Structure 1
Amino acid sequence: MSLEKSASAARLCGAGIVLSLLLGSGAHAADLPTKAPPVPYAAADDFWTRPYLFGDLGRTRLKEQGISLALTLGDEAVANLSGGARNTGANAGQLAFQAKFDLAKLAGVQGGTVGLTLVDRFGNNLNSEADIPALQLTNEVFGRGNILRLTELSYAQKLLDDRLELKGGRLPVGSDFFFGECDFINLTFCGGQPGNILGGYIFNWPVSQWAGVAHFNLAKEWKISVGVYDANPNYLTTSDPTIYFLPGIPASNPAAGVLVPVELTWTPSGPLNGTWRLGGWYDGASTIDGGLPGIVTTIPGLGGVPDQNLGDQRGRFGVYESILQRLTVDGPKTQGWYTFLNTTVADHRTSFQDYQIAWGVKHSGTFASRPDDEVGFAVGTTHVNSAALGPNAGGNEVPIELWYGLQATGWMNLKFDAQYVINPGGRGFNAAGVKTDNAWVLGLRTAVRF
């Protein structure tokens, strides 16, 4: 069987498993990062207010028995009014299935949990369709292939009165490290920030890799985390289903390394709760990003020459902070103001994009008559390394985004979005060195819980 046929068969098989699990056995939505957790299922089942499109389907009973299931659709339709070579539109999305198995309830293994996540992505990239030379995606859900990926297959075990958690298997690095929210459509404000600017070796959702992670609770509100990830570029394959759909081991790659993130987390509790992260990472590989010159060593009589031996001896590293904080309590549930601030600084010797900063606010319960609606605003910047080749060297791309989130039903959320991207690419030059306009992008994000 050819690789294309194998990929198609795997995709159909995976979709069948998902639907049979959901419709045949029932499900519970352990929510994916698209919206706040759903309200508990009520016996008075109303189509417009219930949290799941298909109703309970026995998922409450399954959760009580130790099985939590979720099936969520996220779709982003966007179009540019300016910027790039043409005005056009694009649509991309993902269907995500998530399962958690509580082994204490299922098998008497206290503190044990098995996790499974499958993500099927589809659609097109607006930046490519409109030829917008932006550093960050203007529809963040696009990427890593229109295929069904194994995003997580892991076992976690809590020990020492739940102070220590050990986890291993196929894991996406952003599930345990970095910023975890994705309320915006521009990638600058979504998901694990280090992976946004260093996607060649830090693989954000939905890519997984073999990894081991340890979380240790130092105190009630303090935690330290350490991970070891196989940073092999072959995990990015879209042609080998034994890697992207099944938990295979990718072939060796000279650009491979071991990614080691370390993170200290403070989670203040109480009404004004939050998550404050301070971390860093090291990767042992020596590959530099495309668009950067090789390492230059000055040799008497010869001037500056590339030094490949020196290049083989160095690794890649960076630091980051992430703050997600509730500012006010304006209602009985989640109503209030929230803010976030993310900063990532990467090794300038090896990184084409060497820092990114993002700040934003969100208000939940925008109107008294619409307690579940939200509004959000964010501004950020991504910097091109000053040592980079090309006309965008040293430039800053600056996206600004505003959206209104309408909780249309208990199971569907609609986000009406506007982005303005200043200096796409860093200084606004495309690959041909031609200056392009700043980009106005309008969009609609749809999230449905089944």
Structure 2
Amino acid sequence: MLHWSVTAARMCGAGILLSLLSGGAHAADLMTKAPPIPYAETDDFWTRPYLFGDLGRTQLKERGISLALTLGDEAVGNLSGGNRNTATQAGQLFFQAKFDMAKLAGIQGGLVGLTLVDRFGHNLNDEAGIPALQLTNEVFGRGNILRLTELYYSQKLFDGQLELKGGRLPVGSDFFFGLCEFINLTFCGGQPGNIQGGYIYNWPVSQWGGVVHYNFAKGFQLSVGVYDANSNYLTTTDPTTYFLPGVPNSNPAAGVLVPVELVWAPSGPLDGTWRFGGWYDSASSIDGGLPGILAIVPGSNGGPDQNIGDQRGRYGIYESILQRLTVDGPDAQGWYTFLNTTVADHRTSYQDYQIALGFRHTGTFSWRPRDEVGFAVGTTHVNSAALTPNAGGNEVPIEAWYGWQATGWMNLKFDAQYVINPGGRGYNAAGVKTSNAWVLGIRTLVHF
């Protein structure tokens, strides 16, 4: 009950903030999608896209200020597998603001973005003793704190052909797979960060970085980014780093993370987004549980020598395909599919590849044109060189859900997961074999 009280208090405080700011446009983040219908003059409680109504947000947006406040919550329960049958929940409340500098200051193509994310709740894998590689409630993680997730300036040039962007950014805001419609982390957000979370920090963690997007032909875009690689961005104790746009303390492994991505976005009725990319991180070290080539450096001020690990850098490649397959209605109804594959440097990666395939259908029933169904299957592989009983094994999650658009401002997903060989071969940290896991859950999404 305490956790629900804390959540309610945060929601209330954020609601007051939104009321004071008098507005908000819908957000598009790694977890959620926009409200399904535009705001209309007929302010019906059940069909309007925002729980609290317009609150003047339409007028603000016309003046160049778009605001949003969204809650996403995942309540999940373990039916079998792990150490015990239990249930928990985790979620995030996030506030987003975008300032159109063309309307506000006459700077054509300029945009300032701000996103704050407050996470709460608990990890089902820990609570139920499920030794899974991937979270069974993906929204959990990176601390139950209020984080600065985005603070950036973006400038489009040459009629939008070139975009320059810089500030505090999550890598997944501009690279990797961008949807998160499933509860298992295998099928959610920036896939490279799912298996390389030690140095690729997915939402809601941000780091200082700069990005260039170049639209060199119709439907084609080339993107290059440079991000400060420093594990101190993960802090949950220093607000000057996680909440304010400060610079974290340096550490011996600091360097840069450089992602490169080519995007093809076919247009027409069967539109899609095809991403092909890779990354290089110069702040290398061997992941835990891997034998590595060690580097020894003399200690400073006469102190002991230090093992700084393998310093040759680490890298990987990925593809992400999101494609519409059918057109079954006038308002996004139809079948969609996605296929994600990530292969990480075998030399430094405990989890060295992940594959995810999923399908979604919008407008499942003619009388429920905005309801959806989804199904996905994936695998995460443990490096064969890992010093663990799970070495060489594959964790295989299967997930299905039904999405009910309960109101214009609230969506509910009723979800079932079956995780085969959690951990890769089903062994927990103590080397004890565990069963496959059945997990049931519900995701609630509310646009305020």
| TM-score, normalised via structure 1 length | 0.93
Residue number in structure 2 paired with 1:441: 439
1:257 Cα offset (Å) = 2.1
Letter in 2 for 1:136: Q
Superposition pairs for residues 403-422 of structure 1, below 5 Å?
403-422=401-420
In 1, Cα distance between equivalents of 2:220 and 2:203: 25
1:284 Cα offset (Å) = 0.4
Q: Which runs of 5+ in 2 are unaligned?
A: 1-8, 296-305
Residue number in structure 2 paired with 1:166: 164
The secondary structure found in structure 2 opposite 1:120 is strand
In 1, Cα distance between equivalents of 2:436 and 2:271: 37
1:310 Cα offset (Å) = 10
The secondary structure found in structure 1 opposite 2:316 is strand
Residue number in structure 1 paired with 2:68: 70
The secondary structure found in structure 1 opposite 2:17 is helix
Contact 2:94 2:118 in 1 (8 A): yes
1:125 Cα offset (Å) = 0.1
Residue number in structure 2 paired with 1:185: 183
Residue number in structure 2 paired with 1:19: 16
1:17 Cα offset (Å) = 7.4
Residue number in structure 1 paired with 2:281: 283
Work out which of the residue numbers 45, 48, 57 in structure 1 matches 2:46.
Answer: 48
Work out which of the residue numbers 327, 330, 336 in structure 2 matches 1:329.
Answer: 327
1:294 Cα offset (Å) = 2.2
Residue number in structure 1 paired with 2:240: 242
1:20 Cα offset (Å) = 2.6
1:288 Cα offset (Å) = 1.3
In 2, Cα distance between equivalents of 1:73 and 1:14: 8
Residue number in structure 1 paired with 2:25: 28
Residue number in structure 1 paired with 2:102: 104
Superposition pairs for residues 281-360 of structure 1, below 5 Å?
281-295=279-293, 311-360=309-358
The secondary structure found in structure 2 opposite 1:426 is coil
Residue number in structure 2 paired with 1:213: 211
In 1, Cα distance between equivalents of 2:99 and 2:242: 22
Q: Give the number of aligned pairs.
A: 429
1:295 Cα offset (Å) = 1.9
| TM-score, normalised via structure 2 length | 0.93
Contact 1:295 1:310 in 2 (8 A): no
Runs of 4+ in 1 over 6 A off after TM superposition: 12-15
Residue 274 of structure 1 pairs with residue 272 of structure 2: yes
Residue number in structure 2 paired with 1:302: none
Residue number in structure 1 paired with 2:113: 115
Q: Which runs of 5+ in 1 are unaligned?
A: 1-11, 298-307
Letter in 2 for 1:82: S
In 2, Cα distance between equivalents of 1:106 and 1:141: 34
The secondary structure found in structure 2 opposite 1:328 is coil
1:19 Cα offset (Å) = 3.4
Work out which of the residue numbers 371, 374, 394 in structure 2 matches 1:373.
Answer: 371
In 1, Cα distance between equivalents of 2:367 and 2:332: 15
**For residues 175-221 of structure 1, what are the alpha-carbon distances to aligned partners after superposition, in whole Å with 9 as ceiling and x for unaligned?**
00000000000000000000000000000000000000000001120
In 2, Cα distance between equivalents of 1:14 and 1:213: 33
**Farther-moved stretch of structure 1 (386-395 vs 25-34):** 25-34
**Farther-moved stretch of structure 1 (13-22 vs 234-243):** 13-22
**For residues 423-442 of structure 1, what are the alpha-carbon distances to aligned partners after superposition, in whole Å with 9 as ceiling and x for unaligned?**
00000000000000000000
Work out which of the residue numbers 148, 151, 154 in structure 2 matches 1:150.
Answer: 148
Cα separation, partners in 2 of 1:427 and 1:288, compared to 1, 3 Å: same
Contact 2:18 2:69 in 1 (8 A): no
**Farther-moved stretch of structure 1 (325-334 vs 309-318):** 309-318
Work out which of the residue numbers 93, 96, 107 in structure 2 matches 1:95.
Answer: 93
The secondary structure found in structure 2 opposite 1:212 is strand
**For residues 366-391 of structure 1, what are the alpha-carbon distances to aligned partners after superposition, in whole Å with 9 as ceiling and x for unaligned?**
00000000000000000000000110
Identity of aligned residues (%): 80
In 2, Cα distance between equivalents of 1:140 and 1:20: 27
Letter in 2 for 1:195: G
RMSD over aligned CA atoms reads 1.8
In 2, Cα distance between equivalents of 1:429 and 1:296: 28
Cα separation, partners in 2 of 1:13 and 1:50, compared to 1, 3 Å: closer
1:313 Cα offset (Å) = 3.8
Residue 398 of structure 1 pairs with residue 401 of structure 2: no
In 1, Cα distance between equivalents of 2:294 and 2:212: 39
